[in-house]
Amino acid sequence: MAEPLLDLRDLNAWYGESHVLHGVDMSVGRGETVTLLGRNGVGKTTTLRAIMGIVRKRTGTIHFDGKDLLKLPLHRTAHAGIGFVPEERGIFSTLDVMENLMLPPVVAEGGMSIEEIFTLFPNLKERRSSPGTKLSGGEQQMLAIARMLRTGATMLLLDEPTEGLAPVIIDRIGDALESLRARGMTILLVEQNFRFASHITDRFYVMEHGAISTTFPVGELDARMPELQQLLGV
């Protein structure tokens, strides 16, 4: 692995009294794409939310680009250069595509221009004046990813970007992520669809009961399949 851009050590997190993450250790190298697998409810989304500081009760360390995120105030996490694309996408229904795209603040130099974003997602260019309510699920997902690309974020956290989408749309999202990867973007993907993930990921982590149980490179996927089918219940 390249030098870690994101490094989690003994990360614990709670919702109120409910202890959900029990010592997560995980690293994502600069320019690497890593996929977090696990059954429903093991804590994958909570891991992303803990990184972003949306889950506030945390212990351990989260180093990103040399900074300890646990020591930063919440609003500084996005400014550190992490773009979070939540499962529910968070598109503003009354705003059109262009307005949604322009909404997140630019936090660093090196972000993509609107033209580059439209080259990556031609559908969004066609729909630039359509309100959020009129977008399909696939278009909303593309927009949720696209609007993080202007900000200058060097890392994306994507929570189940293919959920509920048709295979042809999933392929387009896969192509876009492949292009971003080629540009050097670092990606942490939470994904149930490990066949999709296998086309873009360098490595997998498997989470069980709020901790990482194993990690392996994508080349081992086939050999690991029986174990994974049992772990993930697929």
Phi, psi of 58 (to 5 degrees): -140, 150
Position 2: which residue type? A
CB of 20 to ligand ATP, least distance (A): 4
CA distance 223 to 208: 20
Q: Examine residue 89 and tell whether it contacts ligand ATP (CB under 6 A).
A: no
Q: Examine residue 17 and tell whether it contacts ligand ATP (CB under 6 A).
A: no
CB of 36 to ligand ATP, least distance (A): 8
Which residue's CB is nearer to ligand ATP, number 18 or number 94? 18
Which residue's CB is nearer to ligand ATP, number 16 or number 66? 16
Within 46-75, the residues that bind ligand ATP by CB under 6 A are 46
Within 31-50, the residues that bind ligand ATP by CB under 6 A are 38, 40-46
SS3 state of residue 62 = strand
- The DSSP secondary structure of 180-211, one letter per residue, reads HHHTT-EEEEE-S-HHHHHTT-SEEEEEETTE
Strand order in the sheet with 57-64: 18-29, 4-15, 57-64, 67-68
Which residue's CB is nearer to ligand ATP, number 151 or number 193? 193
What does the binding site for ligand ATP look like in residue numbers (CB under 6 A)?
Answer: 15, 18, 20, 38, 40-46
